[in-house]
Amino acid sequence: MKQGKLIVFSAPSGSGKTTIVRHLLKQQELDLEFSISATSRAKRGEEVHGKDYYFLSFEDFKKKIKNDEFLEWEEVYRDNFYGTLKTEVERIWAKGKHVIFDIDVSGGLRIKRKFPEETLAIFVKPPSIDELKIRLKKRKTESDDKINMRIAKASAELATAPLFDKIVVNDDLDKALDEAYKLVSNYLGIDKK
């Protein structure tokens, strides 16, 4: 099986990493496929098992941890586990594609530590904590308490930015998309289209 590269995008909630990852997935010349994370949390809204996440019961998730089936995992919030199944990366590599991750900061750094030569780890940084709070409020998907919890976590996450290979500041989305494309295409050795 041909081993591809791993492209990690990590950031505090509301920084724009998901928008950047979706943009890169549309660039066919990059040959990327999205790594679907597993989670023990319940589905939200229109989420689909096997597309948005692999939804596992708390017991199944713990069993997979015990059986060493995860590349990385973390209890992000109490009893809410998230992780990357080894079989997910193998599935994508078997197709001859590179794996792109939209993943929390600690998970991203764990992947970088496990595969230092195969991984490009990019931190997406918001222009400021205040702007991050505005973006999270605009989503209208969470309570003020949940937003405040995310903001508190964001401060700690921002301190990890220097541990990543590259930092993309998302203060102008078009610029951030272009910069992310250039970083990934250069890493993969692909000329600009």
- Known binding-site residues for ATP equal 11-18
Residue numbers in the known binding site are 11-18
Residue with tokens 């990852």: 21
Structure tokens belonging to residue 173: 């989305």
Burial tier of 68 (Cβ tally within 10 Å: 0-12, 13-18, 19+): exposed
User: In this structure, what token pair is assigned to residue 146?
Assistant: 């949940």
Tokens of 189: 């050795």
Indicate the burial class of 125 (C-beta count within 10 angstroms; 0-12, 13-18, 19 or more).
buried
Which helix (DSSP H) or strand (DSSP E) does residue 169 occupy? strand 166-169
Q: Are 154 and 132 a contacting pair, CB within 8 Å?
A: yes
